[in-house]
Amino acid sequence: MNIQVSTPKTSALVLRVDGLSKQFEMHHLKRTLFAFENIQFELGEGEFILLKGENGAGKSTLLRTLYRSYLPRAGHVFYHTREGIIDLASAADVDIAMLRRREIGFVTQFLNARPRVAAEEVVAEPLRQAGTPHAQALVEARRWLDAFGVKKQLWAAYPSTFSGGEQQKVNLARALILPQRLLLLDEPTASLDRDARRALVDRLTELKAAGVAMIGVFHHPEDVADLIDREIHLKAIRVEDGER
């Protein structure tokens, strides 16, 4: 797998999270569920943070809050771009959407593909949206499907018929085809076979060298042992509040 690798000059700041808190108001149950409170950390270019914690500790919730799939209750997520700093916690939806298209990626183990779109088209889509001509995007897409070990016979088929592992490989190829600036990873290796895990770690290694900042949860943390710069431990907050 090749990508232009340029060593980052300095480890410029990508993310500064400050006092970030998240709770869920479950109106029908008249209940508030606290997921995490007052989280702070920094993440620089080319840095890799491993998120740890027991089931339900709030790891996925933190990643989704950074991505703004979840709305934070309080705190800031200062994201540094070349053009300036923007607080992802309060930025306009339209800006978040644009950043997601251009530089912030989210990788999970689940594929969310539209029906009746071929695997190679699913993978090529981010490139096409970035303006790459169709034919060229397809060549790239096939290269990545191959790298993650998706059988050639499946490239033109619909992922909705694929096995869980095959869907996951398609998902990874799609999520990683464009080099992002910030990657949020939620157990991308869960239920992958060894070769695909290796391919993923190779790609993450390249991206890290290219300066991509990453924070993620890994089912097999030993896979990414060489990449980890720091670890964050989350502990579940055992407070449930009935009052509002």
Ligand X SMILES: Nc1ncnc2c1ncn2[C@@H]1O[C@H](COP(=O)(O)OP(=O)(O)OP(=O)(O)O)[C@@H](O)[C@H]1O
Structure tokens that stand for 160 in this block? 């909705």
Q: Which is nearer to Mg ion, 60 or 132 (CB)?
A: 60
In the window 18-37, what residues touch ligand X (CB under 6 A)?
A: 24, 33, 35
Between CA 152 and CA 156 the distance in angstroms is 8
60 binds ligand X (CB under 6 A): yes
Q: Which is nearer to another protein, 116 or 152 (CB)?
A: 116
Residues that bind another protein (CB under 8 A): 16, 18, 24-28, 36-42, 58, 64, 68-71, 76, 78, 81, 83-87, 90-99, 114-117, 128-129, 230, 232-235, 237, 239
| Short-list 95, 104, 50, 96, CA closest to 218 | 50
164-176 and 134-147 helices cross at what angle (nearest 10)?
130
132 binds Mg ion (CB under 5 A): no
Q: Quick one: which segment of 53-61, 86-94, 100-108, 153-161 binds ligand X (CB under 6 A)?
A: 53-61
Distances (CA, A) of 171 to 11, 99, 140, 146, 163: 29, 19, 15, 13, 12
| Short-list 160, 41, 44, CA closest to 52 | 41
Between CA 9 and CA 6 the distance in angstroms is 9
| Nearest approach, Cβ of residue 22 and another protein (Å) | 9
| Nearest approach, Cβ of residue 163 and another protein (Å) | 21
Residue 235 binding partner per list Mg ion, ligand X, another protein, none, with a CB distance cut-off of 5 to 8 Å that depends on partner kind: another protein
| Nearest approach, Cβ of residue 45 and another protein (Å) | 17
Q: Is 118 exposed, middle or buried (0-12, 13-18, 19+ CB in 10 A)?
A: middle
Residue 56 binding partner per list ligand X, another protein, Mg ion, none, with a CB distance cut-off of 5 to 8 Å that depends on partner kind: ligand X
**187-212 burial string, b = 16+ CB within 10 Å, else e?**
bbbbebeeebbbbbbebbbbbbebbb
| Nearest approach, Cβ of residue 202 and another protein (Å) | 28
60 binds Mg ion (CB under 5 A): yes
Kindly give, in sequence order, each residue whose CB lies less than 8 Å from that of residue 93, ignoring residues fewer than 6 positions away: none
Residues in contact with Mg ion by the rule CB under 5 A: 60
Using CB under 6 A, list all residues that contact ligand X.
24, 33, 35, 53, 55-61
